[in-house]
Amino acid sequence: MTQKSNSLSYLEGWLSIVVNILLFGFKYWAGIVTGSIAIIADAWHTLSDSLSSIIVLVGVKISSKPADKEHPFGHGRAELIASLIIGILLALIAFNFLLKSIHKLQNQESVVFGTIAIIAVFASVILKEAMAQFAFWAGKKTGSNLLKSDALHHRTDALSSVIILVGIFFGKYFWWIDGVLGIIVSIMIFYATYKLLKDSIHPLLGKVPDENLLREVQKICLEKGGNDTFPHHFHIHEYGYHTELTFHLYFPKIFSLEKAHKITSEIENELKVRLDISSTIHMEPLEE
């Protein structure tokens, strides 16, 4: 990770912490004043963003450490582990407020929303979407999955606030609106959790290389080795910003070891220059 990437990640993390703590206080107070479980749930969802941002900062700090004897491929997967922690945190929050919302419906508890609730939720929509846009931009700029995960968290919070804002205007007509909104917010948090855990678990378990990547690798092999080389048996290993690719390469039997090695080295160098991928190639004789 470059110094610029680190700076953007730290900036996004600290901005998120400050904004979310302020929003949490405002929305929690509005939820207590109105007695709205939906707004209180939304407030805790916002506070969870602060906790996730702390994890972002820790993840960035650890993943930026260089490779060492115990971790020869670096510490990039610390970001994936941090994303898993965020996902588990989100799931616990969602389950808690799902139960509270169902309890509120069972007891037929109604809520009277006021101006304070409207201001708090509207402010949350604007600020959270702004934070999401910034985090998405920073994640794209740095290539950080952790920042993209944090952006998704911000976006989910903004959308849940939009739903609550719409519900506020119908609250006086339907006693059940607050409980239903609480359930909707919980489901949205569960969905964000699913996407976050899916994106984190797949690289940890190992996944097949992207088709576009394979086409680029095959193109480089063709450029350097001509029609005499046949790449196959691909495996990719991702460690945050460091990617390792291993594959087999068929060579005609008439090729000398020196020639095959020269072509293999050129392919490995080109993969590093063009795709920023460290590769290990196993040479095999082509059965005719």
pLDDT of residue 206: 64
Is there a single domain that holds both residue 53 and residue 163?
A: yes
| pLDDT for residue 1 | 47
pTM exceeds cut of 0.85: no
173 plus 108 within the same structural domain: yes
Do 224 and 189 lie in one domain? The reply is no
Pair (47, 136) in one structural domain: yes
What is the pLDDT, as a whole number, of residue 67? 64
pLDDT in single tens digits along all 288 residues of the chain: 445 556 777 787 788 888 889 989 998 998 888 888 778 877 887 777 776 677 667 666 766 666 667 765 656 666 677 777 778 877 887 888 788 888 878 887 777 777 888 898 889 889 989 988 988 888 887 777 667 777 877 887 788 788 788 878 777 778 788 788 888 878 877 887 887 788 777 766 666 777 888 888 888 888 887 777 788 888 887 776 677 888 999 888 888 889 889 999 999 998 888 888 888 889 888 776
Question: Does 152 share its domain with 241?
Answer: no
Based on the fold, state whether residues 112 and 234 are members of the same structural domain: no
pLDDT of res. 126:
92
Q: How many CB atoms lie within 10 A of CB 185?
A: 30
CA distance 281 to 201: 27
> Is residue 38 packed enough to be buried (19+ CB in 10 Å), middle (13-18) or exposed (0-12)?
buried
Is the same domain home to 122 and 262?
A: no
Task: Check whether residue 190 and residue 247 sit in a common domain.
Answer: no
Domain end marker among 152, 178, 205: 205
77 with 240: CB under 8 angstroms? Answer: yes
In a shared domain, residues 66 and 133: yes
Q: Which CATH number belongs to the domain containing residue 217 in this structure?
A: 3.30.70.1350
Containing structural domain, residue 20: 3-205
Q: Are 286 and 260 in contact (CB under 8 A)?
A: no
Contact 47, 138 (CB under 8 A): no
Name the domain boundary from 205, 227, 253: 205
219 and 169 in a single domain? The answer is no
Q: How many distinct structural domains can be found in the chain? A: 2
Last residue of a domain, one of 151, 175, 205: 205
Spatial distance between the Cα atoms of 125 and 145, rounded to a whole number of angstroms: 23
